[in-house]
Structure 1
Amino acid sequence: MKNKVCNLFLFTFLLLNFGYVFAQSSTTIKGVVLEELNQQPIGFATVLIADAETKKPIDGTTTLEDGSFTFETEADNFYIEVSFLGFQTMTFAQPPAQNSTIDLGNVVLKEDAEQLQEVVVQGEISRTEFKLDKRVFNVGKDLSSTGASAMEVLNNVPSVNVNIEGEISLRGSQGVQILINGKPSVIASEQGNTLGTITADMIDRVEVITNPSAKYDAEGTSGIINIVIKKEQRKGFNGSVSVNTGAPDAHSIGVSLNRRSEKFNLFTQIGFGIRELPQDKINRNVDLVSDTTIVSTGTEYRNETYYNIVLGTDYYIDDTNVLTLSGNFAMEKEDQPSTTNFSEIAGANQIVSEWQRNEITEATNPKLQFELQYKKDFEGDEDHNLVFSSLGSFFAKDQSSEFFNTRVSGDYDDSQQKTRTDFKEAVYTFKLDYTKPFLENWKLESGAQYVLNDVANDFEVSNLEGINFVLDPGLTNVFEFKQNVLGLYGTGSYEGEKWGVMAGLRLEQTSLNTLLANTNQENNRDYTNFFPSAHTSYKFSDKVSIQAGYSKRVYRPRMWDLNPFFNIRNNFNIRQGNPDLQPEFTDSYEINSIYILGKASLNFGVYHRYTTDVIERISIIESNVNTVRPENIGENNTTGIEFNGKYSPAKWMTLNGDFNWSQFVREGTFESTVFDFNGDQWTSKLMAKFKLPADFEVETTGSYQSEVKTVQGVRSDFLFMDMGVRKNIMKGKAVLNLSVRDLFASRINESLIAQNDSEVYSRGMRGTFVALGFSYGFGKGEAMQYSGQRRRF
């Protein structure tokens, strides 16, 4: 009886559902979406049906890569809408169905000029905004970012300066840590290509973090600059090709390709180029006791041929899990044909002897980097995530140099030297970060990082004696450097509508071992430090807000600070490292404010930094030979003010200004010499952008850096200007740009070191650089630039 009742119930249930299925008739909707201009298919366009009365969406789909679409609906009173970014939306009233099928055929979309213009304008001008613990510079398509390298983009970021040698400073101080997508990178290392493989159009934003929270690596006493690379979000095939040429010789070609589907995002960049980077140099070493002077003048060259390839993929496992694997291989070949003329002068301009030093240097620099990253987004909150990354970087340098000293006049003897460098570096970074929001406005972050750095530098110098080269034991050695840093952190934050606060603590344990292999000289250190941080912000209104912060930072001596052996390009001006160098620590405090006044936006801030065991480069001059060596010298207190603003008096003109002034007090002693002094310095930049008829744009940037006292002398001021012209062609698919760096060849680095018994004067100038570039974007890609940058090694 029981089975009969169950069977009857099941039969009735199936019968009802069978009737319901037949009662609900479905309609198939299909078609192909095309561009009006060239009849090319539009992949991943949106096809939507909505209720004809309520206008609410009912169902929809996206087109395939060939522009086709098909889906079914059971709605009976609807309209159809087809849309894609940059095109006018097409709307159809419900067409009659033929055999339960609605075939729209070819749906042709027209470009929406107003929408395209709005999209372009939004990303046209670089702009700055504030977050709780950082300042974000969003990179637009203005001229300073077109056809430029990442170094030139950084020089346009408020508070950041890049000098003629490519050294980066923040608020006038070096010791800045450079990150790529929040992680260390060989691209941004001091031994690497110094951001040369990153071009402006690859950069989404630059985060300037003058007071980093405990979440970030404590490295960098001046703060952190994080360069965030764009991620291609547009589905389908995108790409660009660029060709650049310039004087002095700077020629390159680059191709960037990207293909994104529902599951994969594949990307690659391939580049090739040659670059010539000359520098005119003058050095004058004066021995006041013997009344003799060594003057050297000449032009140093770095001619480079480089090849670069990037391959990578994002794999979207599902809606909440993403796996990224990428690799970068570069090969650079250097040639340095340099000539320097020397004169030895006694007394009142009496030339004792003259000689010429010719250098032939060749180097091969392979570089490899890989990254594996896994990101887990937890359902229910996009800010709740877990990220693990593993980064490996490898760099090598195989360099040989020959130096020929040839007598011109006097009693100088001809001589010959050879040097050899075999350098290898491996850096492994493992990082785990977990973010958990809770309640409504609270968030906890915690994580760990482990960095292993293993370096070996085999350097030797040989002098020609008779017909044989004899090794110079005083300048020859193998230097090994191993440093491991383990970091653990935790932060908590609250960010409400008007007020926010963040506090955190980071623990870092450092193990450092150095070895001079030939002399068996070791220097091993282990130390543990805590790095607290605190930040707060308050929004008075949409036009006025304020933020304040504190953090503790560290600068650990790097391999080139510790390695006592360098290339002797000029054997009267020698750089050395110091294996006994200690890390320097900085406590940093600051208050910043934001004001929006009509067409102007203004930022004003004050800051203070207290640094102990300050690392300074000290010159020791003996017999006209200047040897520069880093030393820990006392402490430094720096207090400064900062102002930057943006003003657009008209649609065709935008002005940006940046001003930084700081006053410092130095106290320190080295080898019984007291180095107590104080001084100030200031920097300023003014950028003007103009939109001209015929779709031309012009930008000029003027920069000034004041004279500043150094621990032993003074560094002179300089003023320079950059200029650029840009024009969009082929409806924005292509770009022509002309840029001139250091328009008046006035970017000159001069310094003077004055001691009781000696003086050293040095002067360096790169000169004017002119570059012309063309780039073309295809598929759904926009024009993208590729330019190389010399290795600063």
Structure 2
Amino acid sequence: MFKVKQINTYLAKKICAKMKVFRTINFSLLCFLCFVSLKGLSQEVTISGTVVEEVSGQPLAYATVVIADKATKQSITGAMTLEDGTFKVTTEASNFLIEVSFIGFQTKTITTYSINNENVDLGIITLTEDAEQLGEVLVEAEVSSSQFKLDKRVFNIGKDLSSTGASALEVLNNVPSVNVDIEGAISLRGSTGVQVLINGKPSILTEDGGALGSITADMIDRIEVITNPSAKYDAEGTSGIINIVIKKDERKGINGAFSLNTGIPDNNSFGLSLNKRSEKFNLFTQLGFGRRVYPRDSENINEDLDTGTSIVSVGEDLRVEKFYNITLGTDYYINPTSVITLSGNFAYEIEDQPSDINFKAIDASNNVTSEWNRSETTEATNPKWQYELVYKKDFADHEDHDLLLSATGNSFGKDLESLFQDTTISGTDRDNTQNTRTDYSDNTYTFKLDYTKPFSEIWTMETGAQYVINDIGNDFEVQNLVDGVFETDLGLTNNFEFDQKVLGAYLIGGYEYEKWGVKGGLRLEQTDLTTTLVTTNESNNQNYTNLFPSIHTSYKLSNAISLQAGYSARINRPGMRELNPFFNIRNNFNIRQGNPNLKPEFTDSYELTSIFDIGKTDLNFGIFHRFTTDVIERISVFEDNVNISMPENIGTNSTIGVEFNTKYSPAKWLTFNVDFNYNQFNRKGTFEATIFDFNGDEWSSKLMAKFKLPADIDLEAVGNHRSRVKTVQGIRSANTFLDIGVRKKILKDKGVINLSIRDVFKSRFFENFITQGNSEAYSWSRRGRFVAIGFSYGFGKGEAMEYSGGKRR
């Protein structure tokens, strides 16, 4: 065809040369007519049509259309369908065929067509789902997998069986390098200084670890673990950032799934997920409601070594929850490169929190001198709002050239009332009645701008800014029953206000070419914090500005081996719970309170990671070092066998550790995932003339085994072990626990029956020993075994899910 063009052009030039004598308008016109007539010897044909699904009739966007030579089957040209399924492609070939294909559908080949006026109108082209191909895709999607990028690790969430009916906390506990203890505290590589984000932004749900229970396993697309964040990210979090990315289904048509779950202890819920996609809009919603019960057993012993006296308390408490939540959102596609997203979430919880604790006062001869019971009746309502407006612009010159603007608001309220009654069983009169009232509100507003500009395929610039406003109030009142009338205890009552504003801006330059890449940046953050005790008119103001540099590099030694290295500076600002000096009086012999004078922690973080891709095995090995100043530790002080713990800034902590994780599939029916983390630390610090200098180490490991059994049954077992570790004032015990899950697909893989058992042997517990001066404290608690069974069904193009609609604490 190229030769034909050459001949045509050559002849046109010859004709024009022969006619040079005509230097008039007629000459120009004649040359033009000759060229056009010769050009017409090679005809250009336009092929057009619309590709749709056979069953639903919905258009298929991004289907592939190939024009190939009929004789050789070699591709000539091609195109992809637009959002509405239409396509248009041109060719100068005269003997061609058309192939239309899309993942999950049977390829259609068209060899018969009509050419009318150099146009081929194929009309509506229907594609049929390929059941075998779809089955293969779904099987691959079952398994969670890790992916390494220059400055983070991405853990893509599969349908892990032990996460049936589980919350984000259980899912996080299966992510390499991440641990979640029984109280919901999240740690990364053994450190609790972690910032948890949702879709890259702070959320009210991450302020309290337990609140993450309102995000369920089926809602999560992936979890990004950023152990050494670049300057692009908020500098908050001394040990790194965990970013939970929520799914947003964008398949065309109406798609969805529902689930029903029940379990022991009482655990009943219903969840529904719906999505409708059209050319301009993507509408999505998730609904959930149910009732759950979370029991906990606990034991505490406070002992005065000088007098030999002690207070022993053994009890149990329940958290009974009714919950309702709804998410609504829409994407509006302004044009092919711009989209606006508006979404909102509302959750409402009704809580009943009864507890029953038996106390004994024991003398030096081990005799019980007094015994009494403390019962609690607590009712609370928790409304939660989250709303977000996002604008994203993708520029046409490069796929990574984009602009993102977002505004997010989070609001959480708690209206709580508790009644405590002490009833004497024997010995000293302990009868007492107390009433507490809590009016809590937490409002967070985040405004963010991110801009990425690639100057070439190897040079990239990133810049942006963020402004976060935290406005929190905690109005807390304690009343004592005196002569039949409740009187306010002024020593325990106050209104604490927390107002923090953080303004940040960053600039990053990146270079990445073939085997080597580097990314360096600098972030500036200015913090303005004011805390106020309204009743006593006491305030504390902190205003500081900091620079946070970061640098990351990677080198590909071969197709199987890569190296990554990084450095970043981090900050851990104390939050409302650490700063608020007032406390819960559930157990008035073990009191936790905050410290409004706390300063932030600062950390320098270094790491080197090697990545191996060897056949059936992915293996990752890394070493890391963190140095933290003004470390925040809880310090216990004892008085009359009452343990009062308060956070304080205690010296420095230097940690060096190793991390290893791998995935190995020795057979098609068996896959292992292994995660191991070990670190040694050196603590130095002094508090009120007490020196806290010591060395210690800790380690944790996780083993996940997945089995594919006959009859399309899947089995998964996840074992966890956390070592004993020395703390500033004592020791935290080791523990080992196991979660298992079983799944069976039914109804042509549209339905799924799941069974999960978390903490199979009831061996997951929290145990802590504290020694301070001449006093000792022992604490132990356990949630126990949870069994859940569920059924889910997907309709449209939706897939069955494990949505539980509720929360797990």
CA positional deviation for 1:189: 2.3
Matched letter for residue 371 of structure 1: E
Task: Point out the more displaced range, 229-238 or 587-596.
Answer: 229-238
Identify the residue that residue 137 of structure 2 maps to in structure 1. Answer: 119
Q: Structure 1's 31 and 391: CA in aligned 2 closer, same or farther, altered over 3 A?
A: closer
Identify the residue that residue 460 of structure 2 maps to in structure 1. Answer: 443
Task: Report whether the alignment pairs 1:629 with 2:646.
Answer: yes
Contact 1:34 1:106 in 2 (8 A): no
CA positional deviation for 1:26: 9.2
Q: How far apart, CA to CA, are the structure 2 residues paired with 1:99 and 1:613? A: 80
Q: How far apart, CA to CA, are the structure 2 residues paired with 1:460 and 1:648? A: 58
Task: Point out the more displaced range, 82-91 or 308-317.
Answer: 82-91
- What do the CA deviations read for 1:335-382 (whole angstroms, capped 9, x no partner)? 011111111111233111111111100001111111111111111101
CA positional deviation for 1:563: 0.3
Q: How far apart, CA to CA, are the structure 1 residues paired with 2:116 and 2:544? A: 79
Matched letter for residue 466 of structure 2: Q
Task: Report whether the alignment pairs 1:56 with 2:76.
Answer: yes
Contact 1:168 1:174 in 2 (8 A): yes
Identify the residue that residue 159 of structure 1 maps to in structure 2. Answer: 177
Identify the residue that residue 197 of structure 2 maps to in structure 1. Answer: 179
What TM-score does the superposition give when structure 1 sets the normalisation length?
0.93
1:41 corresponds to which of 54, 57, 65: 57
Gaps of 5+ in 1: none
What TM-score does the superposition give when structure 2 sets the normalisation length?
0.91
2:254 corresponds to which of 230, 237, 244: 237
Q: Structure 1's 96 and 63: CA in aligned 2 closer, same or farther, altered over 3 A?
A: farther
Identify the residue that residue 265 of structure 2 maps to in structure 1. Answer: 248
- What do the CA deviations read for 1:365-408 (whole angstroms, capped 9, x no partner)? 11111111111111110111111111111111100000011111
Identify the residue that residue 587 of structure 1 maps to in structure 2. Answer: 604
Q: How far apart, CA to CA, are the structure 2 residues paired with 1:60 and 1:174? A: 48
Matched letter for residue 354 of structure 2: P
Identify the residue that residue 464 of structure 1 maps to in structure 2. Answer: 481
Matched letter for residue 154 of structure 2: V
Task: Report whether the alignment pairs 1:141 with 2:153.
Answer: no
- What do the CA deviations read for 1:637-681 (whole angstroms, capped 9, x no partner)? 111111111111111101111111111111111111111111111
Q: How far apart, CA to CA, are the structure 1 residues paired with 2:422 and 2:240? A: 44
Equivalent residues in 2 for 1:186-335 (5 A)?
Answer: 186-190=204-208, 194-335=211-352
CA positional deviation for 1:783: 1.4
Aligned-partner SS, 2:205: helix
Q: How far apart, CA to CA, are the structure 1 residues paired with 2:689 and 2:359? A: 34
Q: How far apart, CA to CA, are the structure 1 residues paired with 2:466 and 2:756? A: 41
Q: How far apart, CA to CA, are the structure 2 residues paired with 1:629 and 1:32? A: 66
Task: Report whether the alignment pairs 1:709 with 2:729.
Answer: no
Task: Point out the more displaced range, 394-403 or 337-346.
Answer: 337-346
Q: Structure 1's 791 and 651: CA in aligned 2 closer, same or farther, altered over 3 A?
A: closer
- What do the CA deviations read for 1:182-201 (whole angstroms, capped 9, x no partner)? 1111222227x532232223
Q: How far apart, CA to CA, are the structure 2 residues paired with 1:505 and 1:440? A: 22
CA positional deviation for 1:28: 9.6
Identify the residue that residue 471 of structure 2 maps to in structure 1. Answer: 454
Equivalent residues in 2 for 1:724-763 (5 A)?
Answer: 724-763=741-780
Contact 1:460 1:476 in 2 (8 A): yes
Q: Structure 1's 61 and 518: CA in aligned 2 closer, same or farther, altered over 3 A?
A: closer
- What do the CA deviations read for 1:546-587 (whole angstroms, capped 9, x no partner)? 111111101001011000112211111111000111111111
Identify the residue that residue 533 of structure 2 maps to in structure 1. Answer: 516
Aligned-partner SS, 2:793: strand
Q: Structure 1's 63 and 625: CA in aligned 2 closer, same or farther, altered over 3 A?
A: closer
Contact 2:589 2:643 in 1 (8 A): yes
Task: Point out the more displaced range, 140-149 or 213-222.
Answer: 140-149
1:170 corresponds to which of 164, 168, 188: 188
Q: How far apart, CA to CA, are the structure 1 residues paired with 2:47 and 2:502? A: 61
Aligned-partner SS, 2:748: helix
CA positional deviation for 1:25: 12
Q: Structure 1's 753 and 645: CA in aligned 2 closer, same or farther, altered over 3 A?
A: same
CA positional deviation for 1:99: 13
Identify the residue that residue 130 of structure 1 maps to in structure 2. Answer: 148
Aligned-partner SS, 2:274: strand
1:529 corresponds to which of 546, 550, 554: 546
Task: Point out the more displaced range, 123-132 or 508-517.
Answer: 123-132
Q: How far apart, CA to CA, are the structure 1 residues paired with 2:102 and 2:402? A: 31
CA positional deviation for 1:470: 1.1
Q: How far apart, CA to CA, are the structure 1 residues paired with 2:253 and 2:457? A: 37
Matched letter for residue 541 of structure 1: S
Aligned-partner SS, 1:475: coil
Task: Report whether the alignment pairs 1:642 with 2:651.
Answer: no
User: How many residue pairs get matched?
Assistant: 780
Q: How far apart, CA to CA, are the structure 2 residues paired with 1:49 and 1:382? A: 23
Q: How far apart, CA to CA, are the structure 2 residues paired with 1:547 and 1:710? A: 32
CA positional deviation for 1:485: 0.5
- What do the CA deviations read for 1:494-520 (whole angstroms, capped 9, x no partner)? 111111111111111101101111111
Aligned-partner SS, 1:201: helix
Identity %: 62
Aligned-partner SS, 1:151: helix
- What do the CA deviations read for 1:67-114 (whole angstroms, capped 9, x no partner)? xx8999998754344444312122232146899999989977544244
CA positional deviation for 1:27: 9.6
Identify the residue that residue 377 of structure 2 maps to in structure 1. Answer: 360
Q: How far apart, CA to CA, are the structure 1 residues paired with 2:43 and 2:511? A: 52
Matched letter for residue 182 of structure 2: I
- What do the CA deviations read for 1:453-476 (whole angstroms, capped 9, x no partner)? 111110010111111111111110
Task: Point out the more displaced range, 538-547 or 45-54.
Answer: 45-54
Contact 1:388 1:433 in 2 (8 A): yes
Q: Structure 1's 27 and 322: CA in aligned 2 closer, same or farther, altered over 3 A?
A: closer
Aligned-partner SS, 2:212: coil
Matched letter for residue 56 of structure 1: I
Contact 1:453 1:483 in 2 (8 A): yes
Q: How far apart, CA to CA, are the structure 1 residues paired with 2:454 and 2:117? A: 52
Q: Structure 1's 344 and 651: CA in aligned 2 closer, same or farther, altered over 3 A?
A: same
2:419 corresponds to which of 402, 408, 433: 402
Gaps of 5+ in 2: 1-23
Q: How far apart, CA to CA, are the structure 2 residues paired with 1:374 and 1:791? A: 33
Task: Point out the more displaced range, 593-602 or 196-205.
Answer: 196-205
Q: How far apart, CA to CA, are the structure 2 residues paired with 1:593 and 1:348? A: 60
Q: Structure 1's 746 and 429: CA in aligned 2 closer, same or farther, altered over 3 A?
A: same
Matched letter for residue 188 of structure 1: T
Q: How far apart, CA to CA, are the structure 1 residues paired with 2:44 and 2:676? A: 70
Identify the residue that residue 418 of structure 1 maps to in structure 2. Answer: 435
Q: Structure 1's 217 and 60: CA in aligned 2 closer, same or farther, altered over 3 A?
A: closer
- What do the CA deviations read for 1:715-767 (whole angstroms, capped 9, x no partner)? 11001000000122222212111110000000111111123321111110011
Q: Which runs of 4+ in 1 moved over 6 A?
A: 23-32, 62-65, 69-76, 97-108
Q: Structure 1's 322 and 108: CA in aligned 2 closer, same or farther, altered over 3 A?
A: closer
Q: How far apart, CA to CA, are the structure 2 residues paired with 1:73 and 1:501? A: 42
Aligned-partner SS, 2:218: helix
Q: How far apart, CA to CA, are the structure 2 residues paired with 1:531 and 1:31? A: 52
